[in-house]
Amino acid sequence: MDLEIRQLGKSDVDSIWKINEDGLPGTGKVSPEEIEALLDFSSLAVGAYYGEELAGFVICLPPKTAYGSLNYAWFNKRYNEFLYVDRIAVATQYQNQRIGTMLYDFVKRNAIENGIPVTAEVNIQPPNPGSMRFHDRHGFQQVGVLEHDEKSVALFVYQK
H/E segment holding residue 129 = helix 129-137
Check residue 98 and report its DSSP letter: S
Q: What is the model's pLDDT at position 72?
A: 96
Secondary-structure percent of the chain, ordered helix, strand, coil, rounded to 5: 40, 30, 30
pLDDT at position 17, please?
96
Please report, as a single letter, which amino acid is at residue 15: S
The predicted pLDDT at position 109 comes to 96
- Per-residue model confidence as pLDDT tens for the chain (160 residues): 799 999 999 999 999 999 999 887 767 789 999 999 999 999 999 999 999 999 999 999 999 999 989 999 999 999 999 999 999 999 999 999 999 999 999 999 999 999 999 999 998 988 889 889 999 999 999 999 999 888 899 999 999 8
Domain ranges of the chain: 3-158
Residue 148 has a pLDDT of 85
Q: pLDDT value at position 142? A: 96
For CA atoms 5, 8, 11, 14, give the dihedral sign: positive
pLDDT of residue 27: 75
CATH class label, 3-158: alpha beta
